A and B are shown apart, each in its own frame.
Chain A
Amino acid sequence: MRARVIVLPRPEILDPQGRAVAHALSSLHFGGVQDVRVGRIVDVTLQDGLERGAAELQVRKMAKDLLANPIVEDFSIQWLD
């Protein structure tokens, strides 16, 4: 079982990295870019045989306790398989 944790700066947090990327995109003549946010993807492979509900709870806790900093970041979880 694999979980993909997607971490992004919260909307109200200024993301200078995203802004720099947006600026670079317009320098490359990509028009119409309104905003860019740069985050992080963490793929977590779990041992086989874990019950899905328990695994979901566990990955949510991983994201909250370590993978994201809830003061400045939001996270979402996708299940890859």
Chain B
Amino acid sequence: MRVSVLQFPGSNCDHDCTYAFGSVLGCNTSLVWHGESQLPEDTTLVMVPGGFSYGDYLRCGAIAAHSPVMAAVKRFAEQGGAVVGICNGFQILTESRLLPGALLRNQNLSFVCKNVTLRVDSHKSPLTAKLPLRSTYTMPIAHMEGNFIADTATLDEMERNGQLVLRYVDAHGEATQHANPNGAARNIAGVSNARGNVIGLMPHPERAIESLLGGTDGKTMLSGLIDYVRG
């Protein structure tokens, strides 16, 4: 198995992801440059990392979505391969139409950098397949455009189909308005595609992998992902 971590000009969580999957979780991990038209042959998981790909020009993730490596990622996803996008990676996946909806500027127009609590609401993603339903995890967010939106019919269909996989919740595990850091529809922190093999989330599990970093909930989450991918 191999974790392929994509690298765009302006990615800045690529090395954090490589450290998390390679050094902490012991996976074979490769960085894959955006100009590559193929993924390494033994890739079992594609990570689209956070950052400011192409300087967030035009719209966050819009230009990266059209890079050669994303054509390879689309083929990989069509074959059922596991794809996880974090933060800017989530934005790239919505801009590529691998995930429904869009991510708009936070409702309060501020960059938000703080710890949030997430609740697993569905098993329908590689990241949450092995985690108990309703379990909660604390990890940081750091973004300006995390306000997830889709039209009501799309949201209803995603909800029925179990695609609203992660929600922002309060200390009691409730998806309250106060727990919503960016105005996202229905407190959505992470969504998957209809097939359940592609997921995007705004929070950063790769930044919560050692107690020195303030917590290890992200490591628990990413371990579940690796368990799932290894089958």
Q: Mark A64-81, 1 if CB is under 8 A from B, else 0.
A: 011101011000000000
Within the complex, the shortest CB–CB distance from B179 to chain A, in Å, comes to: 19
Interface size, B (range): 10 to 19
Q: Are A16 and B58 in contact (CB under 8 A)?
A: no
* Complex alpha-carbon distance, A71 and B95, angstroms: 10
Q: Mark B94-122, 1 if CB is under 8 A from A, else 0.
A: 11000001101111110000000000000
Q: B134 an interface residue at 8 Å Cβ cutoff?
A: no
Q: Out of A12, A67, A72, which one reaches B104, CB within 8 Å? A: A72
Q: Chain B at the A interface: mostly helix, strand, loop or mixed? A: loop
Q: Are B109 and A69 in contact (CB under 8 A)?
A: no
A19, closest chain B residue (CB): B109
B62, closest chain A residue (CB): A66
Given known contacts A13-B104, A66-B58, A67-B58, A72 and B109 CB-to-CB distance under 8 angstroms: no
* Complex alpha-carbon distance, A12 and B107, angstroms: 15
Q: Mark B153-169, 1 if CB is under 8 A from A, else 0.
A: 00000000000000000
Given known contacts A20-B109, A72-B104, A13 and B58 CB-to-CB distance under 8 angstroms: no
Number of interface residues of A (CB under 8 A): 12
* Complex alpha-carbon distance, A16 and B183, angstroms: 10
From 11 to 64 in chain A, residues with beta carbon under 8 angstroms from any chain B beta carbon are 12-14, 16-17, 20
Within the complex, the shortest CB–CB distance from A71 to chain B, in Å, comes to: 5
B106, closest chain A residue (CB): A16
B65, closest chain A residue (CB): A66
Please indicate the chain A residues that have their CB under 8 angstroms from the CB of B62 in the complex: 66, 69
Please indicate the chain A residues that have their CB under 8 angstroms from the CB of B109 in the complex: 16-17, 20
Select the residue from B62, B66, B104 with max chain A CB neighbours within 10 A: B104
A72, closest chain B residue (CB): B102
Within the complex, the shortest CB–CB distance from B95 to chain A, in Å, comes to: 7
Please indicate the chain A residues that have their CB under 8 angstroms from the CB of B63 in the complex: 66
Q: B149 an interface residue at 8 Å Cβ cutoff?
A: yes
Closest 4 CB pairs of A and B: A71-B102, A72-B102, A16-B107, A16-B109
A-B contact pairs, 18 of them (CB 8 A): A13-B104, A13-B149, A14-B107, A14-B183, A16-B105, A16-B107, A16-B108, A16-B183, A17-B105, A17-B109, A20-B109, A65-B66, A66-B66, A67-B58, A69-B95, A71-B150, A72-B102, A72-B104
